[in-house]
Amino acid sequence: MRPGLILACLLGASALPADAQAAHYVVDIADMAFGPAPARLVVGDTIEWKNSDIFRHTATARDGQFDLDLRPGGRAAVTLSKAGAVQVYCRFHPNMTMRLMVVAMGKG
């Protein structure tokens, strides 16, 4: 069982897609940094960014897939729709970066 599934159950599985394999991950933002990227991401998984910082941030994909605005205390999620590497940064603070590695379904 992938660790994300446990988290998915805790967060309320009813809100998740019907695909039983899809996992929901939470990445915390604190002290001007993204928390670690989930290790095994599969297309269909959901990532939620939770802004625990005192500053407003964004989680923005360099390739334009998503651009989430995160006010202090705010959270926002995206469902990963394609395989590949995704470079994520904060538009307000470009020194904040993280990298997601997403694999196609069935390869996990």
Q: Which residues bind other proteins (CB under 8 A)?
A: 31-33, 54-56, 72, 90-96
Structure tokens at 75: 């959270």
Sheet with strand 75-79: strands edge to edge: 33-34, 24-30, 46-51, 75-79
CA dist 95 and 17 (Å) reads: 33
**37: helix, coil or strand?**
coil
Cβ closer to other proteins: 35 or 108?
35
Cβ closer to other proteins: 56 or 75?
56
| Residue 94 C-beta: closest distance to other proteins, Å | 4
| Residue 85 C-beta: closest distance to other proteins, Å | 21
Cβ closer to other proteins: 19 or 67?
67
